[in-house]
A and B are shown apart, each in its own frame.
Chain A
Amino acid sequence: MRLRARFGGKMITAVLILAACAAGVSFMVFQQGMVLAKDFYIIGVSPNAPILDDQRFHIVQVPIADSAQVLKDKRIDVYLTGASLYYRNDDRSQYAAGAMKTYLGKREIALLAQNYPLNQAFPLRVEINYLKAPATDIGSASPLTLADILSKAAKEKAAASPPTGGDITEGAGSQPLPPGEAIPNETDEMVRQQLQGLQSAKLIPEFKAEFAGQGEVIVPSLMSPPIPLAQVMLAFAYILPIFFISIFFTSGFLEEKLDRKLNILLSAPISPFQIIIGKMLPYIGYSLLIVILITLVLHGNLLLALAIFFPVILFIFAIYLGVALQYRTFKDQTFFSLVAVTGITGYLVFPAMFVGINDLSYVSPLTLAVQMYRGVDITPYQYMLSTVPMLLIFVLAVTVGSRVFNEEYLLSFRPLHVKIRDAIYYAMNKSHLAISTAIFSLLFIPVVFMVEMGVITISFNLPKALALGFSLFICVIIEEIAKSLTVVVTIEHRLVKRWFQVLVLALVSAAFFFIGEKLLLFMSLKVISESLFTTAVFAGNMLWIPLLVHMGCTSAVCLITWKTGLKGYPLAVLVGSLLHGLYNLSLIGVFK
């Protein structure tokens, strides 16, 4: 309905024309091959140099006689002849040489395959075997022992000996054999397959289950790493359409807010929760439809894809609900939406880049999607680690959203931090402060977790020595704020009358935050399967001391705020963070 109302007449023509242009242009770009670094390296070539077919190279013909001078004058980056590559010592030339090395290496390998028999061109074949690794007590996929692998090797050797015996040794010696007379090797077929992979340049990256399967034979010079592009492509295929839909959701919401149509709804006999869910449902429906369509196009497992992306959809809508509830002007909304898009995309894409390299990649549901397309099984723990935080954030957003859904809150113009405190105040159950505090502490954890991930990512910009300290300190501040915020709101609104009430709430908040945090850690460790580490963390002392530290710091923050009032809160957070930070530093052994 809404989409139709917005996009009628002039609009639809414009959208159609533009969409057609976009499709046409992207098709043409796709046909040409997308190269960002067009003509980036300047390659001087001699008349007898091989032909370079790569758009990154800007080719300049230079006679051999002038080559040294031209290279010295920096009019070319490197100079290529039929036999050698010449370059300078400066960075520009060195990088160009690096790029040429990779390009020429591949080209030469392809030439080898054409000009020599397989046995001479690719004399080394490596069979990959997996052996049950140390410290893994989980069910292993390979029941092999080294003796199995070795006895297999002995059998193969016996089989490979030619029946004539004696006169020809294995591998046909160093005499080059003319093509056609090469002694066939049983690994030849596998080499041929890899050669085919090299020759047919794939535009769409493959979802390889792993680098090399059990018993797979690889040739080092033909070995190509799995391209992480697949993850990024998946992100764009699934996430971008959901973003588009959720932007319409926010815009619609905001517009009704400004038109005061929401006021009419508020006076109707339906609960705020029903209004929010009712507004969200159609858009969630559209998003699910898109997930179904994309999965069908990509030939994925439909049920699994829905199970993976449903929490992601809810998460994205939760963020956008927050944006819509907090802001009154469109300008605010544009920028907060942009921040949200960048943040969410980063959070989803960044861990998924490390699929198969680091198991922490399972914090992103996108990793599950990559694994689904690779045909790898997903364990319940992995599924929970990536989806539970998202679902919790949705619950948080909707709960708080339906509590703050009143005219006074929605239409007030106040700074962000005041609006957040107000939201907590409205969302609280005033007769059960301790329970509210505990629930908020738990619900804040995924938010803290995601913000901390963002902080760690940003710290990559800093020099290494600074990065650790910076991210540690900011993370501590974030945690202290998360633990104390609810209590501070009770102080602000005079819901607590005595200092020991503050203390009790602070202790409850810290304890539940700690429990939630450890649960999250437990889940991630289950996924990472470092059993030794798990036992170390859950062994006696390691649990009690951090719990006491959490409680102590939060109590300090809350009590200082109780004494000094809201103005003292930043100072209180700073004190609490310093205490917490000192403990963390001693933990990583700075003071030893």
Chain B
Amino acid sequence: MAMVWREMKALRKEKTIMFAILIQLFIASFSSVILLGIMVYYDPGSISQNSQVGLDVGVIGNHNSMLIKYLVDRNYRVRIYDDASRAEASFKAGRLDAIVILPDSDKGVVNMKLVLPDMDAQATLALMLLKDPMERYENYLRDQEGVTLRYHDVQGKPFTTYEFLYTLIIPILMFFPAFIAGSMVIDSISEEVENKTLDTLLSAPVSINYITGAKIIASVVVGAFQCILWIVLLGFNGFSIQNAGWILLLSIMITGIIAILALLVALVFRDRERSQFIYSLVILVLFALTYFISPSPFALVARLATADPYVGATQLIIYFVMLAVLVAATPFVTRKLMSN
């Protein structure tokens, strides 16, 4: 226990945890920005709902087209022009975001023209905002032709944010502390090797396994603390995490597994630079391999967090077994590595 405290104190002094938390905050923030970027492309509807983006559309041609109805349904301001030059003048004066030129009837193949401003940003936005009314108009034309689409009346909620948050961000936040924990174990071991303090500790009446055990327990405790912090913070932001207990347990077990692996890597290579490099590669390969476990740790966190009735304690057993095997084997391996 005293050893664990010694490690925890060393960590606190280094202020490393603050940095770890800062990094995670960064990841979370940048993800939300990237998410915004994705939404601009995929979900312009949600943006127009949020920020009241209006659209001014000029219409030339068929005044009775169903497209006009669909545009009005979306609360876009529609102005009808008989005279092309007047429409052009309004467009040039910046009063119109787009001009629609419609053929005389809503029958058969409709070749319409869409005039957009010659500016990348505005044109993209206008086109994305017009996509939905144009699709409805297309369905109407299909219907006239006797072609009906199934399932087109399904509503549902835009799922991009939900999927992104639960299947990517939350799992990353739950496993990043594990990655940091391993990295910390390596630093702490290689520092003791380089400063020769390990020899001093070894000459004291404690076994090497107490020393390494203390380092691992300290890193797991710190990792768990970060996970709890994230679960609480996400809760404050209105993202509920179901099965938080199971998720925490999973995260702790994976932190333990990674910390032990990091310890072994550090004991084999001894110097920090090579250990960190090999450790990063090992983590990369392992995480890629878990993709073939069903459910993978990432998917498992996502499904636990959204209260999927098909996952629970049973799916955690495999990680428990892995951790147990490693815990049982590490003392022997460590002693062997130290005696070399």
Closest to A85 in B: B154
| Cα–Cα, bound, A75→B107 (Å) | 46
* Interface of chain B residues 121 through 160 with chain A (CB within 8 A): 121-125, 127-128, 131, 134-135, 137-138, 141-142, 144-147, 149-152, 154-159
- For residue A560, give the distance in angstroms from its CB to the closest CB of chain B: 29
> Which residue of B25, B99, B109, B135 is within 8 Å of A221 (Cβ)?
B135
Interface size in chain B (residues, C-beta < 8 A): 116
Question: What is the bound-complex CA distance between A10 and B270, given in angstroms?
Answer: 12
Whether A461 and B151, one on each chain, are in contact in the complex, defined by CB atoms closer than 8 angstroms, is: no
Pick the contact of A134: B93, B103, B108 (CB < 8 A).
B93
B314 within 8 A of A: no
User: What residues on B are CB-neighbors of A97 within 8 Å?
Assistant: 154-157
- How far does the Cβ of A324 sit from chain B's closest Cβ, in whole Å? 13
Q: Take A18-B282, A334-B276 as given contacts and tell me if A212 and B145 are in contact as well, using a CB distance cutoff of 8 Å.
A: no
Interface residues of B in 270-287 (CB under 8 A from A): 272-274, 276-278, 281-282, 284-285
C-alpha spacing A338/B296, complex, angstroms: 26
Tell me which residues from 287 to 333 in chain B have a Cβ below 8 Å from any Cβ of chain A.
288-289, 291-292, 294-296, 298-299, 302-303, 306-310
B142 lies within 8 A of A120 (CB) = yes
Query: Are B26 and A25 in contact, with the CB atoms below 8 A?
Result: no
CA distance A105 to B300 in the complex (A): 28
User: What A residues does B191 contact at CB under 8 A?
Assistant: 329-331
Most buried by A among B108, B121, B307: B108
B128:A104 contact, CB within 8 angstroms = no
In the complex, A96→B120 CA distance in Å? 34
CA distance A11 to B175 in the complex (A): 27
Question: Do B146 and A104 touch across chains, with their CB atoms under 8 A apart?
Answer: no
Q: Is the CB of A457 within 8 A of B33?
A: yes
Is A257 located at the chain interface by the 8 A CB criterion? no
Residues of the A chain whose Cβ atoms lie less than 8 Å from the Cβ of B85: 146-147
Q: Encode A76-113 as 1/0 by CB contact (under 8 A) with B.
A: 00000001110100011011111111101100110010
Q: How far is the CB of B27 from chain A (nearest CB, A)?
A: 7
Which residues of chain A from 121 to 171 have any CB-CB distance to chain B below 8 Å in the complex?
Answer: 121-136, 140-142, 145-147, 149-150, 153, 156-157, 160, 169-171
Please name the residue on chain B nearest to A342 by beta carbon. B26
Decide if B168 is an interface residue (CB 8 Å cutoff).
Answer: yes
Task: Please give me the residue from chain B that is nearest to A345 by CB atom.
Answer: B30
* B8 on interface, CB distance cutoff 8 Å: no
Known: A126-B112, A358-B121. A39 touches B138 (CB 8 A): no
Pair count A-B, CB < 8 A? 352
Q: Is B116 close to A, CB under 8 A? A: yes
Inter-subunit contact A172/B151 (CB<8 Å)? no
B119 within 8 Å of A (CB atoms): yes
Q: Is the interface of B mostly helix, strand, loop or mixed?
A: helix
**Does A22 sit within 8 A of B, measured CB to CB?**
yes
A223 contacts the other chain (CB 8 A) = yes
CA distance A26 to B298 in the complex (A): 16
Whether the Cβ atoms of A174 and B118 lie closer than 8 Å is no
Residue of B42, B159, B294 touching A95 (CB-CB under 8 A): B159
B277 CB, min distance to chain A CBs, angstroms: 8
Q: Is the CB of B40 within 8 A of A338?
A: no
Q: A350 to B26: give the CA distance in the assembly, Å.
A: 12
Q: Are A330 and B110 in contact (CB under 8 A)?
A: no
**Residue pair B93, A21 in contact (C-beta under 8 Å):** no
A135 near B145 (CB under 8 angstroms)?
no
Partner of B91, one of A74, A98, A131, A174: A131
List the B residue with the shortest CB-CB distance to A358: B121
By a CB distance below 8 angstroms, the chain B residues around A342 are: 23, 26-27, 30
The answer to whether A75 touches B309, judged by C-beta atoms less than 8 angstroms apart, is yes
Q: Does A187 contact B (CB under 8 A)?
A: yes
Determine whether the beta carbon of B156 is less than 8 Å from that of A101.
yes
Report the nearest A residue to B19, measured CB to CB.
A335
The 3 closest A-B pairs by CB, nearest first: A171-B108, A97-B156, A353-B37
